[in-house]
Structure 1
Amino acid sequence: MTRYRLKDVIDKAKLEEILKKFSEATGLAAIIADKSGVNITEPSKFTNHCNLVRSTEKGRKYCYNSDAKLGRLSLKKGGPATSLCHCEIVDLAAPLVVEGHCLGYILCGQVFLKPPDEEKIERAKKRAIDFGLDPNLYVKTFLEIETVPKKHIYTTGEMLHIISNYIIELGVNSLYQKRLLEETKRRSEYENAIKTLELKALQSQVNPHFLFNTLNTAARLAYFENAEKTAEIIYSLANLLRYSLKNLDQLVPLKEEISCIGYYLYIQQFRYKDHIRAEIEFPKKLEKYLIPVLSLQPLVENAIVHGLEKKKEGGQVKVVGYEKDSCVFIDIIDDGVGIQEEVLNNINNINKQKIALEGHTTGLGIHNVDLRIKKYFGENYGLKIESKVGIGTKVTLKIPRMVNRGIQL
């Protein structure tokens, strides 16, 4: 593997969102640092004391050195490690490892395992003078630091370590995918799309051991907190990930696709709350017909990300299935911001324009969904997109009534 730097593969916004939620749930400060201890993400829920220390050049330098030292200890252990920083505060670190290479560390903590005694407070006063800070203010913020059980920071740190490594693995895969697309750009459009999807399927395989570790850790936390909603999110995520591991070169009953988008919409509605509403109208008699796996979820995701997410007051996405002229039609309708006419013309003219709107979860764009449907069923099938700026978008998917491969009703 090419030696990437952490900032080359990290999805900074996504990790900062995770750090924020982690800090809200646990009360622990958190940050991502490179191998030298320098921050890559913005600090999450840092204590007043640590912010005060890092406001000085000398204190900041000592913090970086402490973080790097603890990070190296965690790398040596092969997992989370705890230690006292230069200010005698408990921190925890876990290495961020991709294909055997450490790119940096995730750190959390800024807590005490027991309240500081008089000797520790006296040493704190001396540090304040060394940093050029007011000793009274320094000690005040020092005593504000929370005291927690060691098991608490270790368990939560382990969970965040697993999730962060997974996100970085996805970041590396996205770089591989980008290079692959550049290399195959001049090849046949159909061939290029199919080969890209096959390689992406291989790249995006989730190690079941990793998946079970992550879900088990999350489940333990949910059980500990009596968090029923959290458990439901975990189950939906597990089902969605399990479905995404299916071979892309297969047809599945529409019933499975509808279940997949049901899991996806549950997660998104939990995330966006009242900002996004979803509705599925799908007759049971259509559930037996076959469709390429992971065809509907990218379209629903596109409606949310590109249509509703950008709309200040939110809106609705609706999935409707029906029969017409011996074919099955599925409409994905949103009342979002709509698509500019020039962009819409390019998308509907995909036989001449190589445009793919990438989804955030599966990586399967609208263009690739259309290509896969045409590959299995022929040129008379695929996608049609209608949109008006300020009103919304409707994507219509057309497939034959097929219950067995090669047998059309």
Structure 2
Amino acid sequence: MTPALLISAPRSGAGKTTVTLGILAALARRGIKVRSAKAGPDYIDPAFHAAATGRSSLNLDSWSMPPSLLDALASDAAADADMLVIEGAMGLFDGVAREPGRSGAAADLAARWHLPVLLVLDVSGQSQSAAAVLRGFAGHDPAVHIAGAILNRVGSERHRAPIATAIGALGIPVLGGIPRDATLTLPERHLGLVQAGEHGDLAARLTALADMAEQHLDLDAVIALAAPLARSTGKTAFAIPPPGQRIALASDAAFSFIYPHLLDGWHRAGAEIVRFSPLADETPDSSCDVCWLPGGYPELHAGALATAQTFRDGLMRFAETRPVHGECGGFMVLGERLEDADGVNHPMTGLLGHATSFHKRRLHLGYREARLLADSPIGPAGARVRGHEFHYATLIPGADAPFAELTDAYGQPVAEQGGRRGHVTGTFFHAIARSDA
């Protein structure tokens, strides 16, 4: 059984990702075969995890994924590793207050697999009060074991010492204190961190984070904290069956948001993934039987996409006879036009009739469950699929038929329904797993 632990925090912005990457990079540098996962729906952090460890990362989401799929994915991740490290999202207990164990909170995973939790505390602006915060988290849910703490953004030894003394009275070990250092912070944009592949100095950044972890954390104690994760004995579960035998996948700086567990599941089922780059004006391979346009940042590349005539013509020919599906950014590119943040309109493929705008941004964020209204690459008509929506685009609807009936995590209807026309389907909704399989 592979030892595993969960790294979380009381809130977003406390430094979970910085601490996690430092630990991952330091463990990998020691020659430990460490695998990682991200709790919740997040495309960006797993790519940083993979860069730090040299091994693929994945997502584990208790709301979107059926329990059998969660168990299978965690088991597979731990199968060929010396240690599994899971990074939480938002605060440890933050999730959907509806169904116990399926809230989407990182605490669900800790309770399900009896994982020790290493809590990252941002202690800037406080001292002994950090112990009160930790006491509250330690006693909040008896099924969740807070096994250690890391103090982040420590001002000095005079700052650290009384905090560590106050926490020591709780019987929870402090496994390190990280000083305030702006150079350790990774740059962000509107959907989170700037993606791993866009950092020309990523190797140097990860080296600095590994050095930080070696210098300021008790890594031997972190390793000893991990507890065995039992292997799943059930059969392999697929989140979403492959939409075809050969799948043309748009893949470049504008189209990069697709979950690793989906691609891995399709590979395991025998499907082939054939990548192409719309930004390089490439077309989907004509030997493929389905085309998938994932999310990403088309709004940052709208001008280049508008002039990629070979891509547009090739996609139109493909869509005459075979399914084409777009998620979020891919959905934007399937529309008539995309208005950028400066109010400039760029023509898109026009395979669907809507338009999208970033000129007047509005955040759309949350879990979604879709009941599909027609057959599509993510499932047959009537199927239910869980996932999420996260974007700042405003939708100008077209005259297309709706693709799905969408509700939020509390079962309330959501206005956005996507669109379908001929073989083409699209939606802002990112699919994570079938909920009716």
* TM-score normalized with structure 2 length: 0.27
Q: Which has the higher strand share?
A: 2
Bigger relative CO (Cα 8 Å, ≥ 6 apart): 2
* TM-score normalized with structure 1 length: 0.28
Larger Rg: 1
Q: Which has the higher helix share?
A: 1
